[in-house]
Amino acid sequence: MSKPTSDTPNGSGPEMLFGDRFKGVRAVVIGGRGAIGAEVVSQLKSLGASVIIGSHSHDGIATAAADLEGDGQATLQVDLRDAPSIQTFAQQVSTLMPSVDVLILTAGRSVQVPLKQIERLTDEIIDDVFASAATGVLKTARAFAPLMRQGQDPVMVFVGSVAALTGGGSNIAYASAKGALETMAIGLAKALAPDIRVLTISPSALETPFVADRDESFIEATVKATPIGRLTGIDEVALAILSAARLLTASTGISIPVDGGRHL
């Protein structure tokens, strides 16, 4: 079965939409080498932002400093499942940027476990999914709050999932972690107001290698259950994230579905 995708225009689209709103912005994108994160980084760079990517792989702080100075983009290591790693990452970012304006968290881990096969949902899967998609996000928000309070119109944007509403998705642990993420964003929006806004962008399944062991039938079923009859494009999710950061300036504590109506 063919899988319709987005026909959102590339190239001039973000520039026409955002103008100079990201020029000079200091952004941190955790998960910036994944499908969504890489697209966000690409759009940020095209709009004139400086970007630090948080990733499992890294080039070291010295190389990152040179890259940021030269190319406006650098990569540092961080593991959201490990609290000391998050603290080290935040400290390293603070040596490279005097403040952070935009913090985007697209990282996460999951595997495909059918809903009715809960016996296959091991302790290791549950702990890994919650650490990367929920508890690690909260620890990161806590670590970056002081640095962001010095930023210009600072905003945190989390990538959630329609699974938080449907209870489906790759597995129950993932859906539960994303539900916790949405509640967390509401609490953080209150806790960090009025200094820092917090929003969640929640897509449905995307045609990416994010979820291990996901087969063709899962994608076909998702397309069939989506009112617009196609998967959401990665570029559409990235545009929604950047819109939350710089266009929805009076919004905080909300989750925005970018899922083709899959949540209905």
> Is the confidence at residue 4, as pLDDT, over 50?
no
> Is the confidence at residue 47, as pLDDT, over 60?
yes
> Is the confidence at residue 147, as pLDDT, over 60?
yes
Q: Report percent pLDDT > 90 for the chain.
A: 66
pLDDT value of position 156? 98
pLDDT value of position 263? 74
Give the predicted TM-score (pTM) of the model: 0.88
φ, ψ of residue 164 in degrees (nearest 5): -65, -25
- Contact present, 126 and 213 (Cβ < 8 Å): no
> Is the confidence at residue 12, as pLDDT, over 60?
no
What is the distance between the alpha carbons of residues 209 and 40, in angstroms, rounded to a whole number? 17
**Domain ranges (residues) in the chain:** 21-258
Q: Which two tokens stand for residue 41?
A: 């980084």
Nearest residue to 126 (alpha-carbon basis) of 159, 81, 187: 81
pLDDT value of position 114? 85
Architecture in CATH of 21-258? 3-Layer(aba) Sandwich (3.40)
What is the distance between the alpha carbons of residues 192 and 27, in angstroms, rounded to a whole number? 18
Lateral strand order in the sheet of 102-105 = 73-77, 50-55, 26-30, 102-105, 155-159, 197-203, 254-258
pLDDT band of residue 1 (cuts 50, 70, 90) is very low
pLDDT per position as a tens digit, 155-188: 999 999 888 887 777 889 999 999 999 999 999 9
pLDDT value of position 221? 77
> Is the confidence at residue 5, as pLDDT, over 90?
no
